[in-house]
Structure 1
Amino acid sequence: MPQHSAPAVPVPVVLDPAARDADAEHRLLRAAGPATRIDILGVPAWSVTDPALLKNLLTSPDVSKDARRHWPGFEDAVQTWPLALWVAATNMFTAYGGDHRRLRGTVAPAFSARRVAALRPTVEGIVDGLLTGLEAVPPGEVTDLRERFAYPLPIAVIGHLLGVPDSRGDEFRALVNDVFDTTLTPAEAAGNAGRLYTMLDALIAAKRAAPGDDMASALIALSEEGPEGRRLSEEELRDTLLLMINAGYETTVNLIDQAVTLLLSRPAQLDHVREGRATWLDVVEETLRHSPPVKHLPLRYAVADIPLPGGGHIAKGEAILASYAAANRHPDWHDDADAFEVTRITKEHLAFGHGIHFCLGAALARMEGEVALSRFFERFPDAGLASPREDLEPVASLISNGHRSLPVRLRPREA
């Protein structure tokens, strides 16, 4: 019989900035091996999709997130790369070693288990208010659930944490959306970053003039009179606030969006929850595994040459892209990995990262997702998608993993 070899994978794989078929792209990356060379908006890097290798790299001292110290391409990138903000900000997201420990230590207390538990009544109140607003939608009418539910919930929660006035929420949202939009030109991305920093500076000035019982005021106090070794510079203050807004907003929007979409397109999975075979936390975890809020997270850098399984190596100074969505569905990690199964026993995933950069807001995101989903399906048990799942358009981003809109009928049309 003739032998048929697997189709050749182009090297480097050029990632689609609009992510029009992310699942196919992730299969291509996995087919190329544990790590493969890619082009991400003109920047060469290594995409890592093998979960075991990715976990090793995420915990290795030979991998840094500090582009200034460990990436020779940094100076060019900040001038010409649309994702410059992702590597140039000065906060714990881009820090390495002692700087990372110091910056993470300033924010960690706000996301302790006790603080997250104390936030639950606030989240429940916000969710209930949003659902009450949705009650006004006439039976049979289509409404965009991403716009009217998934978006405003995390914006309100982050606003509560940071003391952002409700009147500024829509402005922050529009600017953060463009941080994740990977179809912008370098000039458009730089302009958006400038407007975002202008808003952050206005928030900082307002909190300095009238401090409140919120995280922004607490961070400002640390920048001015914090203990030795924990004091934030002005740049670190701005970029830490930027990180909290970015990380606490878009990811939760996508978690709710994807979970609702998956459940409404797979009624048997929703039945598992309604009949007691799975919990809402099972839904959250399986959504995080199957369709994580972030597909790829830029960037990390090799501090030394890193050998790869099967031969070859990532050279010192080369950039590394953590391809979380592709790794989560790796067939060596999960049986029938492409299936969405809320009763799956093992739902391990890398949606929140791994190791010292594991997302501090993971517990808050999980709680927001659980409250939002449980109360939405209790209030609207007959909700249904107004368009087939395969017809929903993805957001224009190789980072953010959600839909441009989520058209839903909350109740069937009355006879």
Structure 2
Amino acid sequence: MPALFTHEFATDPYPAYAWLREHAPVYKTVLPSGVEAWLVTRYADAREALADPRLSKNPVHHSEAAHGKGKVGIPGERSANLMTHLLNIDPPDHTRLRRLVSKAFTPRRVAAFEPRVRELADRLIDGFAARGHADLIHEFAFPLPIYAICDMLGVPAEDQDDFRDWAGMMIRHGGGPRGGVGRAVKRMRAYLAELIHRKRGESGDDLISGLIRASDHGEQLTENEAAAMAFILLFAGFETTVNLIGNGTYALLSHPDQRRLFQDALAADDTGLLRTAVEELLRYDGPVELATWRFATEPMTIGGQRVEPGDPVLVVLAAADRDPARFDDPDTLDLTRSDNQHLGYGHGIHYCLGAPLARLEGHIALATLFGRLPDLRLAVEPSELRRRGGLIMRGLRELPVEFEPVRG
């Protein structure tokens, strides 16, 4: 069996996932944190598990949590009082919160944000276009979604660099205690609490104001729930989009035929193919490698394996989306792929609420980047690129590129 969680695995996990799908599709392993968990790698099993109500999202069901050994969740969220969000709760609380949040985070609000995302993408490219080289992660893929979600939430422009610093701390250091990750989360929580308190008296057209106003049958979000939701939109929303832009750009640079197809679609303003392309990039090398934690609440069977109450279950989205039982020629990047019900943003009641915004940002970022810098190319050998550490997300640490300088 191929080794898991090594440097080689982080660089290219897909051969190991192919082996697991064939020989051990539901496999119990010890994670780098020391926690034992089941990995679910086949598409059919993954889709079923993502929607199974017997798999709880609440870490209280973790068999080790009662003994203080559980190492699950987002770094710092417990100590910062940020646990009450959609990734950590089940119905009926999840149903109530999602209904309330959906009233604020509407498709109309996302669609209306398109001009601002285009403006941000152009502004960021303006910052390095005349130079002829850039690190696309730090200069484009990372700041774009941070500034976008800050704008959407209603964070004043003069405070957005603080959010960029806090988010950078979390994305660089993952879940480890070093580097002040917990302090960054606490500072973000304190700022959000103050911002929510302020907006209760001066409500605007931003998302936080919408969260405060959202009500249903007399119910509203508590202040802590609103802060936790704003936090998870920042934390989960920005990193998935960073990785979508970074992984998607690298995939196009690594597949010249598909890159030509993408740029031809840009020239022809073929929005249908451009949107199909984003879906294929999400499937081929998506931003989320494993779905967030689930815990069995009763004895159950997944893919022929008995799972005991309290056992952690991790659905491997990256493996499911390369399953040949579901996708033709799954290891091939095909931007014209039409039958593409990938699991990149999950499935079931926990399907990612921010997926429409992430898709919008990914589409605009890639179209703007390859439209304005048509000769974009890697500045290093692919073997020199490094992946960030961490279990859930899949993304590059940096993406050095070169191009003909653009002036004026």
2:17 — aligned with what? 26
Sort the Cα spacing of 1:84 and 1:303 in 2 relative to 1 into closer, same or farther, 3 A: farther
Partner deviation per Cα, 1:91-135 (whole Å, 9 max, x = no partner): 111111111111101211344332222221222222222233333
Q: Which moved more, 1:180-189 or 1:124-133?
A: 180-189
Q: Retained in 2: the 8 A contact 1:283–1:342?
A: yes
* Alignment match of 2:30 (pick from 24, 39, 64): 39
Answer yes or no: is 1:402 the counterpart of 2:395: yes
1:251 — aligned with what? 240
1:207 — aligned with what? 199
Aligned-residue RMSD, C-alpha: 2.9
Q: Retained in 2: the 8 A contact 1:19–1:398?
A: no
* Alignment match of 1:195 (pick from 165, 183, 187): 187
Q: Retained in 2: the 8 A contact 1:282–1:342?
A: yes
Q: Retained in 1: the 8 A contact 2:276–2:338?
A: no
* Alignment match of 2:261 (pick from 272, 277, 295): 272
Sort the Cα spacing of 1:283 and 1:147 in 2 relative to 1 into closer, same or farther, 3 A: same
Hey, what's the Cα distance between the residues in 2 that align with 1:91 and 1:113? 20
Question: Quick one: which amino acid aligns to residue 136 of structure 2?
Answer: L
Question: Quick one: which amino acid aligns to residue 242 of structure 1?
Answer: F
Hey, what's the Cα distance between the residues in 2 that align with 1:33 and 1:340? 25
Q: Retained in 1: the 8 A contact 2:263–2:371?
A: no
How far the C-alpha of 1:23 sits from its partner, in A, is 3.4
Sort the Cα spacing of 1:188 and 1:314 in 2 relative to 1 into closer, same or farther, 3 A: farther
2:368 — aligned with what? 375
1:136-285 matches, cutoff 5 A = 136-137=130-131, 141-180=132-171, 181-182=173-174, 184-185=176-177, 189-208=181-200, 210-221=202-213, 226=215, 230-276=219-265, 279-285=273-279
Answer yes or no: is 1:315 the counterpart of 2:308: yes
2:317 — aligned with what? 324
Q: 2:234 is paired with a residue of what secondary structure?
A: helix
Q: Which moved more, 1:173-182 or 1:87-96?
A: 173-182
Answer yes or no: is 1:349 the counterpart of 2:342: yes
Sort the Cα spacing of 1:348 and 1:228 in 2 relative to 1 into closer, same or farther, 3 A: closer
* Alignment match of 1:334 (pick from 304, 307, 327): 327
Question: Quick one: which amino acid aligns to residue 369 of structure 2?
Answer: F
Partner deviation per Cα, 1:34-58 (whole Å, 9 max, x = no partner): 2111223111111111111111111
Hey, what's the Cα distance between the residues in 2 that align with 1:86 and 1:29? 32
Q: Retained in 2: the 8 A contact 1:293–1:401?
A: yes
Question: Quick one: which amino acid aligns to residue 128 of structure 2?
Answer: L
Q: Retained in 2: the 8 A contact 1:386–1:408?
A: yes
Sort the Cα spacing of 1:157 and 1:413 in 2 relative to 1 into closer, same or farther, 3 A: closer
Question: Quick one: which amino acid aligns to residue 188 of structure 2?
Answer: L
How far the C-alpha of 1:292 sits from its partner, in A, is 0.8
Question: Quick one: which amino acid aligns to residue 47 of structure 2?
Answer: K
Sort the Cα spacing of 1:84 and 1:73 in 2 relative to 1 into closer, same or farther, 3 A: farther
* Residue identity (%): 35
Q: Which moved more, 1:161-170 or 1:272-281?
A: 272-281
TM-score, normalised via structure 2 length: 0.87
Q: Retained in 1: the 8 A contact 2:104–2:211?
A: no
How far the C-alpha of 1:166 sits from its partner, in A, is 2.5
Q: 1:344 is paired with a residue of what secondary structure?
A: coil
How far the C-alpha of 1:407 sits from its partner, in A, is 0.7
How many pairs are equivalent? 397
Question: Quick one: which amino acid aligns to residue 161 of structure 2?
Answer: D
Hey, what's the Cα distance between the residues in 2 that align with 1:347 and 1:273? 17
Sort the Cα spacing of 1:31 and 1:178 in 2 relative to 1 into closer, same or farther, 3 A: farther
Hey, what's the Cα distance between the residues in 2 that align with 1:219 and 1:91? 13
Question: Quick one: which amino acid aligns to residue 245 of structure 1?
Answer: L
Q: 1:333 is paired with a residue of what secondary structure?
A: coil
Q: Retained in 1: the 8 A contact 2:130–2:405?
A: no
1:119 — aligned with what? 113
Answer yes or no: is 1:98 the counterpart of 2:87: no
TM-score, normalised via structure 1 length: 0.86
Partner deviation per Cα, 1:247-281 (whole Å, 9 max, x = no partner): 22111111111111111121110112334498221
How far the C-alpha of 1:299 sits from its partner, in A, is 0.5
Q: 1:307 is paired with a residue of what secondary structure?
A: strand
Sort the Cα spacing of 1:65 and 1:229 in 2 relative to 1 into closer, same or farther, 3 A: farther
Hey, what's the Cα distance between the residues in 2 that align with 1:30 and 1:86? 33
Question: Quick one: which amino acid aligns to residue 65 of structure 1?
Answer: K
Q: Which moved more, 1:341-350 or 1:157-166?
A: 341-350
Partner deviation per Cα, 1:56-83 (whole Å, 9 max, x = no partner): 1111221211222x33322445876685
Q: Which moved more, 1:82-91 or 1:198-207?
A: 82-91
Question: Quick one: which amino acid aligns to residue 313 of structure 1?
Answer: R
Sort the Cα spacing of 1:379 and 1:189 in 2 relative to 1 into closer, same or farther, 3 A: closer
Question: Quick one: which amino acid aligns to residue 383 of structure 2?
Answer: E
